[in-house]
């Protein structure tokens, strides 16, 4: 009996101990990516949907701690920051203004960067061969059918502002309305900050426990990230139309360039807004780690614990880091902003709409608005948010969306990486050191969500 179970145990143990190691970026590029591509080329197209479904199911598991994490992190941090008894008015004003200014600047920067790269790269200006490939891909797919029973009512014309106003925080949380959860948490946090500490302490303790558990849960489910990637990449490679990827190469390159440029700018911001003493204990640039983690998981939210741990370990104010990191990751959605700007320029070029200075300004503004409206959405679900902008420019939305969705399995990765690194920048700019004594406790494990032990670090959870 013992002899039969012992080898099984060791196999399972080895399997589960390998998964965290595979989360290292180096392993992603050297092992997971090539293996997934080869697997995708080998598996029959009929099995691709099974791989894709398995990947999506695991993404759902990884996203599962997001709502409690957001709800608790935002509520606790806002309550702490705006607490009359614990912080001065100047402190509150300083954080709010720095956060709002850095957030606005990041949004503007992201939109302008994407706009400039789009003008340089000219996505949507297609060769006749590319047009033919796209046309073939679109045959029968974009036909408009009138008279059939609509499966889903269109939501393009919904005002995005209505998606922000909370109705019932628990109902919103259970229905996955992340934006409403954030706004509800901010309002609740503000209310808590106005109350006597004795009254709110039980709730804050509960929220802190939820937060700690959520972070720990995220560490555990993140172990699935390599399997998610293998399933999604293999499924995508098996089914994705290589002709379309080639036809939309300019667009694809533009999105990747934006991610790399964002990484460069975020590195500069990190150097400029952190002291050499804060950086003294760092062996790895945390911006690189955030970039690679978001890129390799396709989810910027997975970088939240890394950002939080890193900045907290550097001695930054815990509440400010908590608030700025969670809000910038969830609200700003800078990867979506840059992606949407590029996608809108792509659509305008595709339909030969002249890019006048006024129109470019409109593109930037609409890119920001539609990018923010993607808050709470993940993966391909974020793509249709640009339909509003296309409708504004009277550019046909369905064919553009079909093309964008066709290559989204690839572009969701740089989009998440852009969101991650620019959110890190916002967090670095808007948070300040809490006290001189907190500066020196930077350990390697704090920077190493990617390099952590299989058991995960001991997380306080804010």
Partner 1 sequence: MIRLFLRFLLSTVCAAVLLFPLQVSAAENSFIEGIQQRGFLKVGLPPYNTPPAYYLEPGSEDLQGYDVELAKGLAEKLGVDIQFDRSSTSFNQLVKRVGADDFDIAIGKLGLTYNRLFDAFPIQYLSFRHALLADRSFVASLGVDPDDSKFGDILRQSKIRIGSIENSTWETESRANFPNAEFVGFKNWSAAKNALINYDAKSDGPTIDAIYRDATEIKPIVYDQPDLSLKYVPILFDNIIDRKSIYLSEKGRIGLYDFVDNYLRREWGGIKSDTNILDEFQSFYLPSDS
Please say which residue, 7 or 128, places its beta carbon nearer to partner 1. Answer: 128
**Cα–Cα distance between 435 and 17 in angstroms, integer?**
38
Indicate whether 435 belongs to the interface with partner 1 (CB under 8 A): no
List the interface residues with partner 1, window 146-175 (CB under 8 A): 146-148, 150, 152-154, 156-157
Q: CB of 80 within 8 A of CB of 208?
A: no
Q: CB of 20 within 8 A of CB of 214?
A: no
Q: Phi/psi zone of residue 124: left (φ > 0), alpha (ψ -120 to 50 degrees), beta? A: left
Please say which residue, 282 or 387, places its beta carbon nearer to partner 1. Answer: 387
Indicate whether 407 belongs to the interface with partner 1 (CB under 8 A): no
Minimum Å distance from CB 422 to partner 1? Answer: 31
The greatest distance separating any two alpha carbons of the chain, rounded to the nearest whole angstrom, comes to 77
Q: CB of 107 within 8 A of CB of 368?
A: yes
Contact letters (x/-) for partner 1, 325-364, by CB under 8 A? -------------------------xx-------------
List the interface residues with partner 1, window 375-404 (CB under 8 A): 387, 390-391, 394-399
Q: What are phi and psi of 316, to 5 degrees?
A: -70, 155
Please say which residue, 65 or 399, places its beta carbon nearer to partner 1. Answer: 399
Indicate whether 142 belongs to the interface with partner 1 (CB under 8 A): yes
Please say which residue, 53 or 158, places its beta carbon nearer to partner 1. Answer: 158
Please say which residue, 90 or 143, places its beta carbon nearer to partner 1. Answer: 143
Q: CB of 426 within 8 A of CB of 300?
A: no
Minimum Å distance from CB 347 to partner 1? Answer: 10
Minimum Å distance from CB 54 to partner 1? Answer: 29
Indicate whether 131 belongs to the interface with partner 1 (CB under 8 A): yes
Indicate whether 144 belongs to the interface with partner 1 (CB under 8 A): yes
Q: Residue 43 has which token pair?
A: 């598996």
**Cα–Cα distance between 233 and 84 in angstroms, integer?**
50
Minimum Å distance from CB 359 to partner 1? Answer: 15
Nearest to 347 by CA among 358, 359, 335, 357: 359
Burial of 191-228, coded b for 16+ CB within 10 Å and e otherwise, reads ebbeeeeeebeeebeebbebbbbbbbbbbebbbbbbeb
Minimum Å distance from CB 373 to partner 1? Answer: 16
| Residues binding partner 1 (CB under 8 A) | 128, 131-132, 134-136, 138-139, 142-148, 150, 152-154, 156-157, 350-351, 387, 390-391, 394-399
């Amino acid at each position: 009996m013992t002899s039969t179970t012992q080898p099984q145990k060791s196999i399972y143990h080895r399997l589960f101990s390998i998964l965290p190691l595979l989360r290292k970026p180096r392993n992603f590029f050297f092992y997971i990516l090539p293996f997934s591509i080869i697997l995708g080329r080998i598996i029959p197209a009929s099995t691709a949907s099974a791989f894709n479904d398995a990947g999506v199911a695991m993404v759902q598991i990884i996203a599962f701690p997001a709502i409690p994490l957001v709800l608790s992190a935002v509520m606790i941090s806002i309550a702490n920051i705006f607490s009359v008894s614990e912080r001065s008015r100047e402190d509150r004003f300083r954080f709010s203004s720095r956060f709002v200014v850095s957030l606005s600047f990041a949004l503007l920067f992201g939109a302008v960067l994407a706009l400039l790269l789009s003008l340089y790269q000219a996505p949507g200006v297609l060769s006749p061969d590319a047009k033919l490939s796209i046309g073939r891909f679109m045959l029968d797919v974009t036909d408009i059918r009138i008279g059939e029973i609509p499966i889903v009512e269109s939501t393009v014309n919904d005002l995005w502002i209505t998606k922000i106003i909370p109705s019932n925080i628990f109902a919103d949380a259970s229905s996955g309305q992340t934006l409403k959860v954030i706004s509800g948490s901010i309002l609740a946090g503000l209310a808590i900050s106005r109350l006597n500490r004795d009254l709110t302490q039980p709730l804050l303790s509960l929220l802190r426990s939820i937060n700690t558990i959520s972070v720990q849960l995220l560490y555990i489910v993140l172990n699935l990230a390599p399997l998610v990637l293998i399933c999604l990449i293999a499924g995508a490679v098996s089914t994705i139309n290589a002709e379309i990827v080639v036809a939309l190469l300019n667009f694809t390159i533009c999105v990747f360039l934006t991610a790399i440029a964002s990484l460069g700018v975020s590195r500069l911001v990190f150097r400029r807004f952190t002291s050499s003493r804060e950086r003294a204990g760092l062996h790895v640039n945390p911006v690189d780690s955030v970039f690679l983690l978001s890129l390799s998981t396709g989810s910027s939210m997975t970088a939240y614990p890394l950002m939080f741990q890193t900045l907290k370990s550097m001695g930054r104010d815990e509440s400010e880091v908590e608030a700025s990191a969670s809000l910038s990751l969830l609200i700003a959605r800078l990867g979506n902003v840059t992606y949407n700007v590029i996608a809108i320029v792509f659509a305008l070029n595709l339909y030969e709409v002249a890019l006048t200075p006024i129109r470019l300004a409109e593109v930037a503004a609409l890119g920001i608005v539609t990018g923010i409206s993607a808050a709470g959405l993940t993966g391909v679900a974020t793509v249709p948010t640009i339909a509003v902008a296309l409708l504004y420019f009277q550019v046909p939305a369905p064919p553009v969306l079909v093309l964008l969705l066709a290559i989204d399995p690839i572009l969701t990765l740089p989009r998440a990486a852009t969101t991650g690194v620019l959110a890190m920048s916002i967090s670095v700019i808007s948070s300040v050191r809490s006290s001189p004594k907190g500066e020196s406790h930077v350990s390697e494990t704090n920077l190493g969500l990617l390099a952590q032990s299989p058991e995960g670090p001991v997380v306080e959870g804010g």
